[in-house]
Chains A and B, each alone.
Chain A
């Protein structure tokens, strides 16, 4: 088991390094840079000579390799540098923006999970074909709704018309209600789809017939026998969906004016604020790696068959 973990950690480090390097290369390859975008801004009215001086002081024109080594060296010591656009250290920005996104993503994911399970369970339990059909078409609907539009609709209806939740200056507990809904809807769709399919699949297995023959109710069979088996592939999808979650957060945070990593990313992309983007890429990669590691470690917990295999391998 420990060899397995070590292996996974080594993999994780490689992924982090690769994410860092690829994003660094891409950001460098883009035309212009943060210093140019910021200081060539006519509102500052700087002369060419002044811009050149500032460029020199930020050392943005030094060779690629020098910048790469310097940046990676700083990252290793935990120094993410300064945001050229915002004029504050990247570390401060991250500290200010990360908690909101973590909360939004966690709650959004939980709600998505609940929605998916509800859709899947109710649709497999119901005896009415029309209800089943209706419920099973919900995921297709959910996945086709643009997050952006959904966010604005939620605000218009629940905040501006019904005045249930303010979007401006909300209490801390109110702040996340609408964004979490907006984020959860598209995420719940693929989860529900996979879950429905797997439940259908497992339902046809012989042990289900046996259980039913013994007189178990549909619900009992679903809960005790089918759910666990159907959950495994869903868990894999859940790990992959994290990427979706980050992308959804960018839109959701922008619409709701939340101060999270998504909004920060959007602004940093706009101004090519390399230091900020670099830090966000590394943090996202780290989160991705951790989530997938957790998912992998959860398999044996959910499925005893995998436990023995892992045991044999170790």
Chain B
């Protein structure tokens, strides 16, 4: 009991001192110290730094320091606040957005960040650039064109209502970059030194795949207007070092060789906390870590089979066995801190008897070998583990054990990334798949399920040409409505309706709310996280140690 209490206290302390409670909340009474370089150990090397590719955490961790966004989403309230845009107006049906740009902002190459620069960025993010192979940003829906009204006013037009756009201007994928960066072909954007932003840090040097050095921009004076901290960053620089080994990252942090690390597995949390180091586990506030079905596969085409598996899944056991208090059990398909969340936990109850009854009803009877059978076929399903998700293999294996109790076999495959990518497109080969995505706007549900976005359910006409017939017009209609309903209340209501629908249809089995887990030395102060859990080192400082 005492350990539990200690855990809780630590979790609270984490929330209090992490930037989740950024403006105003002073965990430490002493004044921030200027100077010093933060040693940050990252698990994986960054890949392409084209801003819309910033969803990948190693990329986001860099882009968040070197680029600014039009707007700032307060991680505590999820409200959209001014940043590079001083103010904005949206027309009634959310098809036109006008932004007033803050004067005096420059990119680190000296070029101005004005209305023309913003327009240039969004034309690429909204429409893509085929010649340079730059893809469209996932967060911008229905984009038509931009118009520079005066040097500090820019207006965007949309083909259809795009209510998620304002939040879309605040995400990591909407970092503003200089014209010289946008002029480069996509395949050259893996070189961080070529990413010219207006952020509080500038890429000073990098050794690809090994380390990257950021240095503070002296003249930086345009942080989010409502932040308490203004002016240049407290740190002189940040040094990213790629350290792939979990044990080396944690060991180095505890041995005083590093200040801050990303990716701490739940089973390592206690050894970090035992030494008074801090675990930061900001929520990713998006679609929960789940298992989804591909109903195009005849084995899981019957809603009763899917419902049976949903009730056969004991999410609580998974969370308590494999994870920690930082991984709350899911109560809907999106996180409880996500915008538009609705508690549907009543429909997610673990109930073995109900699961068995549903499978019987669906005509799957237990065969001699203990596996459910119907018409000579056995209920044997396959899923590939997802490497970026925490302990995903173990999670799936535990799910497989649980499903085994109702006579369903789930094979968990590792596979090389090529086979995985190819098989993942084919519902016959992967009827089950792990899934999660973070973004603090209800649009994230659409991103996850809409056939023209991530298409997690694999519908006909979506990402894969291997799908035979599965389409859910009702779901797609709801998702489209979600992405284009300009009225906020109605939009949140639609989000709730979708959560009910996805769980009723048992398209997904939500398991836990996924955090991004970091650990920091006790003297590291003022680390903030954007709404989806990527670190911001703008207000970070190193106390004496």
Contact = CB atoms under 8 A, between A and B. Distances in A.
Interface of A: 30-33, 36-48, 50-51, 53-54, 57, 82-88, 92-93, 96-97, 152, 155-156, 159-160, 163, 166-169, 254-259, 263-264, 267, 269-272
A47 B187 contact: no
Contacts of B419: 30-32
A45 B452 CA distance: 9
A193 B52 CA distance: 56
A87 to B, nearest CB: 2
B45 interface: yes
Nearest to B241: A168
**Residue of B135, B417, B420 with most partner-chain A CB within 10 A:** B417
B214 interface: no
Contacts of B242: 257, 259
Interface string B194-224: 0000000000000111110000000000000
A168 B258 contact: yes
Interface residues on B, range: 35 or more
Contacts of A50: 128, 135-136
B257 A159 contact: yes
A155 B344 CA distance: 48
B188 A87 contact: yes
Given A83-B190, A85-B47, 4 more contacts: A30-B419, A39-B135, A87-B189, A93-B209
Given A42-B437, A257-B242, A259-B207, A155 B464 contact: no
Interface stretch (B243-251, B364-372, B493-501, B508-516): B243-251
A88 B417 contact: no
B255 interface: yes
A257 B245 contact: yes
A42 B464 contact: no
Contacts of B209: 86, 93, 96-97, 259, 263-264, 267
A168 B137 CA distance: 36
B199 to A, nearest CB: 20
13 contacts: A42-B437, A44-B135, A45-B447, A50-B135, A50-B136, A82-B187, A87-B186, A87-B188, A88-B190, A88-B191, A96-B208, A152-B248, A270-B416
A54 B133 contact: yes
B418 interface: yes
Contacts of A160: 251-252, 254-255
Majority-rule SS of B interface residues: loop
Contacts of B187: 82, 84, 87-88
Given A31-B419, A84-B187, A168 B41 contact: yes
Nearest to A52: B465
A51 B453 contact: no
A44 B437 CA distance: 11
A42 B248 contact: no
Nearest to B463: A48
B254 A86 contact: no
A40 B452 CA distance: 12
Given A42-B437, A53-B130, A270 B417 contact: yes
Contacts of B454: 42, 45
B239 interface: yes
A272 B189 CA distance: 19
B335 interface: no
Contacts of A48: 452, 462-465
A237 to B, nearest CB: 31
Contacts of B55: 43-45
Given A54-B133, A96-B208, A166-B257, A31 B138 contact: no
Contacts of B45: 86, 267
B452 A272 contact: no
A41 B130 CA distance: 19
A93 to B, nearest CB: 6
Contacts of B189: 87
Contact of B453 (A40, A45, A167, A258): A45
A57 B131 CA distance: 9
